[in-house]
Amino acid sequence: MKELIEYIAVSLVSNPEAVQVTETVEGGRTVFRLQVAPEDKGKVIGRQGRVAQAMRVLLRVAAVKDGAQAVLEIE
């Protein structure tokens, strides 16, 4: 799942070297934190948050297939 988030984010941003995804387990669910360069945040979030929401939906679907819960936070 971490690779999925990285792949999508690197495809969207202008500065792919700044993309970092960290994975932690909190309260029985996996939390993925996506960090990008400040100038690329808007590209990852998208208009009215549509890109970020689509990434979260894909992550949730992948997590459900594995029998887990996952959350995406964009920093």
Domain that holds residue 44: 2-74
pTM of the model: 0.90
CATH of the domain at 37: 3.30.300.20
Residue among 27, 22, 28 nearest 6 (CA)? 22
Domain count, the chain: 1
pLDDT tens-digit series, residues 9-67: 999 999 999 999 999 999 989 999 999 999 999 999 999 999 999 999 999 999 999 99
**H or E segment at 24?**
strand 20-26
Whether 25 contacts 63, CB under 8 Å: no
